[in-house]
Amino acid sequence: MPEPDAPRRLDDPALLPFAPLIHSAWSDGLLTASELRALRAHADAQTWLPQTARAMLDRWLDPDAPPSPRELAELRDRIRSVPIADEPEATASLADLGLALSRAEGGPTEGWSDPGAVASLHALEAALGLVGREAVRRLLDIEHDTGGGPARAPWFDAAALRAYLDADHLELRDRVLGLMGRPPLRIPSQIPLDEYRERVLDAVRLLADHGYGSLGYPAEWGGGGDPTAPIAVFETLAYGDLSVVVKFGVQFGLFGGSVLQLGTEHHHRTYLERIARLELPGCYAMTETGHGSNVRDLETTATYDPETDELVIHTPRERAGKDWIGNAARHGRIATVFARLVVADTDHGVHAVLVPLRDEAGKTLPGVRIEDRGPKEGLNGVDNGRIWFDRVRTPRTNLLDRFGSIDARGRYSSPIPSPSRRFFTMLGTLVMGRISIAAASVSAAKTGLTIAVRRTSHRRQFGPEGGGEVPLLDYPLVQRALLPRLATTLGLHFAVRALARLHATRTPADNAEVEVLAAGLKAYASRHCVETLQACREACGGEGYDARNRFAELKADTDVFTTFEGANLVLLQMVAKGLLSRFRHQMGDLALWTMVRYLAERAGTTLAELNPVVTRRTDEEHLCDPAFHHAAFTYREERLLRSAARRLKSRIDDGMDSHRAVSECQDHLVQLARAHVERVVLDHFRDGILHAPTPGLSEALGVQASLYALSRMEASRAWYLECGYIEPSKARAIRRQVNLLCAESRTCARLLVDAFGIPDEVLGAPIAT
Amino acid sequence: MPEPDAPRRLDDPALLPFAPLIHSAWSDGLLTASELRALRAHADAQTWLPQTARAMLDRWLDPDAPPSPRELAELRDRIRSVPIADEPEATASLADLGLALSRAEGGPTEGWSDPGAVASLHALEAALGLVGREAVRRLLDIEHDTGGGPARAPWFDAAALRAYLDADHLELRDRVLGLMGRPPLRIPSQIPLDEYRERVLDAVRLLADHGYGSLGYPAEWGGGGDPTAPIAVFETLAYGDLSVVVKFGVQFGLFGGSVLQLGTEHHHRTYLERIARLELPGCYAMTETGHGSNVRDLETTATYDPETDELVIHTPRERAGKDWIGNAARHGRIATVFARLVVADTDHGVHAVLVPLRDEAGKTLPGVRIEDRGPKEGLNGVDNGRIWFDRVRTPRTNLLDRFGSIDARGRYSSPIPSPSRRFFTMLGTLVMGRISIAAASVSAAKTGLTIAVRRTSHRRQFGPEGGGEVPLLDYPLVQRALLPRLATTLGLHFAVRALARLHATRTPADNAEVEVLAAGLKAYASRHCVETLQACREACGGEGYDARNRFAELKADTDVFTTFEGANLVLLQMVAKGLLSRFRHQMGDLALWTMVRYLAERAGTTLAELNPVVTRRTDEEHLCDPAFHHAAFTYREERLLRSAARRLKSRIDDGMDSHRAVSECQDHLVQLARAHVERVVLDHFRDGILHAPTPGLSEALGVQASLYALSRMEASRAWYLECGYIEPSKARAIRRQVNLLCAESRTCARLLVDAFGIPDEVLGAPIAT
């Protein structure tokens, strides 16, 4: 079609309301054939438009002859003539602006008095995926006039936010932080392995001397009796040297925790105080070389010998050696050893036995062989080792016998009849460890973000011709790399704290849910931590590579968080199975398959039809509405739950064995687990906002919750698009809204990281202080 | 609607062709309302179906009353009665299977003789997103019968593939590999900084002694005269200690290359042979503390003093010190210093000057101050440092004067009049460095994948009840983590080799394209390397954390690849600008904006309408068709190019300054750059397949190219969905096809990593050897 000679005009007054839409559609990105079709279809539907007007409009919407820059500029100038100072409502959307333009030029024509016509214009705007206010701002150049910054910059007091975030055990946290800025807790980096290990031991000893090792133990054994306090200490320590944190966790959490949780009064009385004072450094010896994740199949044996009333601990083959055991290579004097308990030729499954490793002088005891694991990627202040036992004898009473005991006559009994359930009960010790790793992951992410946000706020590179250089954090992709992760870190903060509280106050009925949450948050937070630190390092460029700026050790130390205390992939499948079995506290396949069938059969009936208005709404009010976020996250989790159930069911119905069925659906199960964690984090984030002490803090946190929610939806937008929960225009609107929220968060990013409350001397990084 | 009492039947013969579709739709995942609607709409369209048959079908498609497991099992058993041994074509799709079923039970009814009815049944199958063969296999349990492995396992000879992959300089590579397994090139890990640096120097000296430093220098100065040889050496060395690689690159590539590229005969004669023999260790001193990425604004000055015919090198302020300079802290005796050349008070922009740093005894010369950068996250065998100059005098002839010279009478002249263009010409030295980093990234990824694939092939965890444990690489998510990355690594292999060849044979007309490709592949490959090594480390679990298994150093060493020789974010924007200016070799905004206008104005007219058949086709033949991949990658690049142009144009037309306009479109530009690189990689991958010496190798590489293409499309599926290039059913089909290709690749993954040809003694990792 040849380009007509006459310039395009828009001088039929009935067309003026279309002007801002036409301009924005051509200016903002590629106008697709489908968008053009939407515009024309809408115009066609306005049957009251005079034929001449319709023809005029067609020329503006001809894909083969887009308007020239001059024509668009003239149209823009005309739109900018609207006296928006007198008509603030005109800036709410492009449709409103168009109607204001027609008012400014003599009032809309009669056809527009029909509310249907106006509503249809708004619908068209939404269908085109133009976020109203942003498009208006751009068209009117409002953003430019205000110097580039977004209009709204929520103000709040960083100290007040810090006091709120750390309200739980604030004073305890501050005391720990006070110790951390100086030796022995401040440990120089890049020191030789042996010296590093000794310094870390000194640091843990200082913490023990201050009583921090026993805060969670019962008061009757000299402890503080508060199960949330150790996590508060642990996550505070995690701003500093992570070897100290892990050694602290091994001694007081895993080892001490196993004596507390799996032992009985005799063990508590004999050991807990000495453990808390670090007089008896110990190990938690579960993992074997051949069995890292699949610990139900451990091979080490503890065989009862009625002749001597002893247990004989034995490693049946080289690959059954205990592996990666913290405290083993150097300092451990005793270990909680997980071994198959054999009494009178009957294997009662895995139990825990206290087995001395070294004498007081540190010499390895007869029958015990220990090998140093040597240098690792990180956490080199922790002395991991391997341990083999050659028929090592230990008294019967060293069996930690809360869940399974041998009486003086050599008879085995247990309060839990099912060996499988008994074993999973004993694994409960790991729950506290997983919560702690989740907490430490959040702390390490906070450290990285504090360094990177401060650095990129003052480091400048490039800039406009003739102008000054621009801070890195002003660049959209630097914001994109850091700020959604900052928001997610805040969400995880609330979720992990809530889980710690639930764990402390749990009833037996809560156990399964706590286990699922601990597994899920550990996996999610540790992955988040690894990705966040990488993004932070890169945002800091070469300086991020300087060992003094912390990322070298932070990255190397936290990398294993994705692996230890349960490999993330295994934990996420555990989460999915927990969801599928609706937290029935029984890990057998039977309960799982029963629930899978139930869920699968409900699948066809209960997921509501999608509301086309909601799948298309793209206005800011809707996009930042917590109810929308909640609905979207819940929908995703529910739908994934049911479709996973159906996939599993079809395989089981076909006679496939359960291992293979689960394996084939692995991707689905892991996706379900992540969706669950993201929904839980959102709920706790909102809960944290609800309880914020001032409206300013609520508002600031609200922006972050929106950024978290929308950036997570953006990351999953392919899924949402595939199932029709959102339409393409909405996906684009979400992306733009994330950009806007990033720009908004940029103005308070420094306040937010200040609110993490990491003192400069703990932060350490020269580029951040 | 109450559940009817009568069991569902399918005894109208006209309905039998629907049976497999009905069964699969209910069995495989959640049957959505829209899928049910599609099924019913299709059924309604078959007007020839008798009313009773229609009612019967309706009952099978009632979302409020899904069929019971027993009903589905009966249906399945009936379908399985098809004598597929006699009718192999029956397994091609669910529709074919259904027609075969109706044949088996007496022949299709008359209505099905209409080819339209059959075509429509096939279309329905595609619309439901059921990948024909996979769904048939599952329904008929064929997969189960064959032991879970995919039917086709392309066989090829790993040695033959290795010979093909490394055909370029095969003998040279093998000689280098021969040196690498033993000292001085094999360097123990975890040694003190000072010792490490000396050992790395020794290693580089050995390479120089063997003549590897000068392979690329002209023969007249004692070199090998082959510009591709240094890259072959560099990428081979990159299987080993990366500090050696980087030190090698600093000395012979950056420093020697700057003398070769920026100097003239006097410099070549005086220095090249001594550089090649490592008699004169030198530095490439460009970056300053204040200017890492924005090197056009460097502040160091080289002021010509006509009195003494000398250049005075000066650091005007602390932050203008040269920073991160390799070889500076310890071994460098001279440096190519980038400084603003000032002659008779005129600033001619940044030029390069040779400035001695230390005397033969290693003592720093007067006026030169050097500070050790100290420990870094990785590459600690390279002695990076900072350098400040306090009015250091150097002869005029030390100016590397190919692109700008001062004559004996103190007059400046240059063959390139534009200072901006002159500067970018001088930056050309970096191109070789970027190609080398891309090559080293591919090598490091190969190392990591070799270790991880071997480890996960023999490490077993979990398994079916009563059965043996299963190798980790049999788990779909482990395959997902490793195998698409293995495929991408192969694609990058071909692309980087092709770029090295193009660089070696380039004409001036190729320069801009080579620069864009070098920037793009460096950024893409270094990011790929970081992500691949992280995935490999995690797949190896705790053993991956053991420093002996290489990941500790591999990850730490390569992390900075994303930052040095051009930060990735900056490079990707450079790529996008190059694409927008269609490789016009002029970096000024003017040419860019001219092209942006041109592209933006073409945007509405040239992108073809999408073909609805292609957006929906989900059969394996189509999904693995190279023409489909090429079309999809090209469409993405083109569309992003034009939409980026439009976004930029609307801002420029509004009078926004160019820096801000580019900054606001950063996300778009980076996405465009990545899409470009992915398309280039695909093209070179296909080219590599085309030239493979045997059909077996072509077939094996073809599977990998499909896996690369589809996994990249899957990663971008939100974009494809948003613009309507694919429909949701196709997105799901792509995901399933990636799963199938992963399963297929699992059977040859060990052969593929063997074909990388990394000898065990170079690989080093105990878990892999």
User: Is the CB of residue A534 less than 8 Å away from at least one CB of chain B?
Assistant: yes
Residue A350's pLDDT band, with cuts at 50, 70 and 90, is very high
pLDDT at A447 over 60: yes
| CB < 8 Å to A568, chain B | 538
Q: What is the pTM of this model?
A: 0.82
Q: Give the pLDDT confidence of A360-409 residue by residue, as tens digits.
A: 999 999 999 999 999 999 999 999 999 999 999 999 999 999 999 999 99
Q: What pLDDT was estimated at residue B584?
A: 55
Q: Among B465, B546, B604, whose Cβ lies nearest the Cβ of A376?
A: B546
Q: How many residues does chain A have?
A: 769
Looking at mean pLDDT, say which of A315-319, A592-596, B97-101 comes out highest.
A315-319
Q: What is the mean pLDDT of chain A?
A: 89
Q: Give the pLDDT confidence of A451-504 residue by residue, as tens digits.
A: 999 999 999 888 887 778 899 999 999 999 999 999 999 999 999 999 999 999
ipTM of predicted complex: 0.81
Write out the H or E segment, with its range, that includes residue A176: helix A170-180
- Evaluate whether B90 touches B96 at the Cβ level (below 8 Å): yes
Q: What pLDDT was estimated at residue A474?
A: 94
Q: What pLDDT was estimated at residue B53?
A: 82
Number of Cβ within a 10 Å radius of residue A591: 16
Q: What pLDDT was estimated at residue A3?
A: 44
- Of A39-43, A568-572, A761-765, B390-394, least confident by mean pLDDT is A39-43
Strands (E) in A685-763, as ranges, are none
- Among A410, A291, A390, CA closest to A348: A410
Average pLDDT on B645-666 reads: 89
Residue B741's pLDDT band, with cuts at 50, 70 and 90, is very high
Amino acid symbol at A93: S
Q: Do B530 and A530 lie within an 8 Å CB cutoff?
A: no
Q: What pLDDT was estimated at residue A588?
A: 53
Q: What pLDDT was estimated at residue B81?
A: 79
* Residue A84 to chain B, least CA–CA distance (Å): 19
Q: Quick one: tokens of A448?
A: 């990285």
Better pLDDT: B633 or B657: B633
Please state, in angstroms and rounded to a whole number, the distance separating the CA atoms of residues A675 and A673.
Answer: 5
Q: What pLDDT was estimated at residue B657?
A: 85
- Among B490, B522, B405, B434, CA closest to B704: B490
The string of DSSP codes covering B69-88 is HHHHHHHHHHHHTS-TTT-G
Q: Quick one: tokens of B123?
A: 């279309």
| CB < 8 Å to A464, chain B | 657-660
Please state, in angstroms and rounded to a whole number, the distance separating the CA atoms of residues B721 and A718.
Answer: 7
**Residue for token pair 């956490």:** A379
Q: What pLDDT was estimated at residue B149?
A: 42
Q: Give the pLDDT confidence of A52-65 residue by residue, as tens digits.
A: 888 888 888 776 67
Q: What pLDDT was estimated at residue A605?
A: 47
- Edge-to-edge strand order for the sheet containing B368-372? B322-325, B385-389, B368-372
Average pLDDT on A159-170 reads: 96
Using only C-alpha atoms, what is the Rg of chain A? 31
User: Is the CB of residue B606 less than 8 Å away from at least one CB of chain A?
Assistant: no
Q: What pLDDT was estimated at residue A152?
A: 47
Q: How many residues does chain B have?
A: 769
pLDDT at A300 over 60: yes
% of chain B exceeding 70 in pLDDT: 90
Q: Among A376, A464, A643, whose Cβ lies nearest the Cβ of B659?
A: A464
Average pLDDT on B248-271 reads: 97
The strand pairing partners of A310, in sequence order, are: A305, A395
**Known catalytic membership, residue A513:** no
- Evaluate whether A98 touches A121 at the Cβ level (below 8 Å): yes
% of chain A exceeding 70 in pLDDT: 90
Residue A127's pLDDT band, with cuts at 50, 70 and 90, is low
pLDDT at B185 over 50: yes
- Evaluate whether B124 touches B21 at the Cβ level (below 8 Å): yes
Average pLDDT on B692-710 reads: 96
Amino acid symbol at B307: E
Q: What pLDDT was estimated at residue A552?
A: 97
Average pLDDT on B265-272 reads: 97
B584: left (phi over 0), alpha (psi -120 to 50) or beta: beta
Q: Do A66 and B605 lie within an 8 Å CB cutoff?
A: yes
Please state, in angstroms and rounded to a whole number, the distance separating the CA atoms of residues B482 and B490.
Answer: 13
Residue A145's pLDDT band, with cuts at 50, 70 and 90, is very low
Q: What pLDDT was estimated at residue B587?
A: 46
pLDDT at A178 over 80: yes
pLDDT at B143 over 50: no
Interface of A with B in 270-309 (CB under 8 A): 287, 291-294, 297
pLDDT at A622 over 60: yes
**Residue for token pair 């004073």:** A171
% of chain B exceeding 90 in pLDDT: 66
Q: Give the pLDDT confidence of A576-618 residue by residue, as tens digits.
A: 999 988 755 444 555 677 777 777 766 554 455 566 677 788 8
Q: What pLDDT was estimated at residue B58?
A: 80
- Three-state SS string over A257-310 comes to HHHHHHCCHHHHHHHHHHHHCCCCCEEEECCECCECCCHHHCCCEEEEECCCCE
A565: left (phi over 0), alpha (psi -120 to 50) or beta: left
pLDDT at A712 over 70: yes
| CB < 8 Å to B555, chain A | 377, 555-556, 559
Residues near B345 by beta carbon (within 8 Å), at least 6 away in sequence = none
pLDDT at A149 over 70: no
Q: What pLDDT was estimated at residue A138?
A: 66
- Evaluate whether A283 touches A326 at the Cβ level (below 8 Å): yes
Q: What pLDDT was estimated at residue A246?
A: 98
pLDDT at A714 over 60: yes
Largest Cα span, chain B: 110
pLDDT at A143 over 80: no
Give the chain B residue nearest A558 (alpha carbons).
B545
Please state, in angstroms and rounded to a whole number, the distance separating the CA atoms of residues A717 and B204.
Answer: 50
- Evaluate whether B734 touches B710 at the Cβ level (below 8 Å): yes
- Of A527-536, B426-435, B523-532, least confident by mean pLDDT is B426-435
Interface of A with B in 321-380 (CB under 8 A): 323-324, 373-378
Out of B125, B565, B620, B727, the active site residue is B565
Average pLDDT on B256-281 reads: 97
Q: Do B476 and A717 lie within an 8 Å CB cutoff?
A: no
User: Is the CB of residue A566 less than 8 Å away from at least one CB of chain B?
Assistant: no
User: Is the CB of residue A561 less than 8 Å away from at least one CB of chain B?
Assistant: no
Q: What pLDDT was estimated at residue B2?
A: 39
Interface of B with A in 400-429 (CB under 8 A): none
Average pLDDT on A140-153 reads: 46
Q: What pLDDT was estimated at residue B18?
A: 85
CA torsion sign for A209, A213, A215, A220 is negative
| CB < 8 Å to A29, chain B | 643, 646-647
| CB < 8 Å to B193, chain A | 190
Please state, in angstroms and rounded to a whole number, the distance separating the CA atoms of residues A522 and A566.
Answer: 9
Q: What is the mean pLDDT of chain B?
A: 89
Q: What pLDDT was estimated at residue B182?
A: 87
User: For residue A232, what is the DSSP state?
Assistant: H
Q: Do A293 and B563 lie within an 8 Å CB cutoff?
A: no
Residue B141's pLDDT band, with cuts at 50, 70 and 90, is low
pLDDT at B32 over 70: no
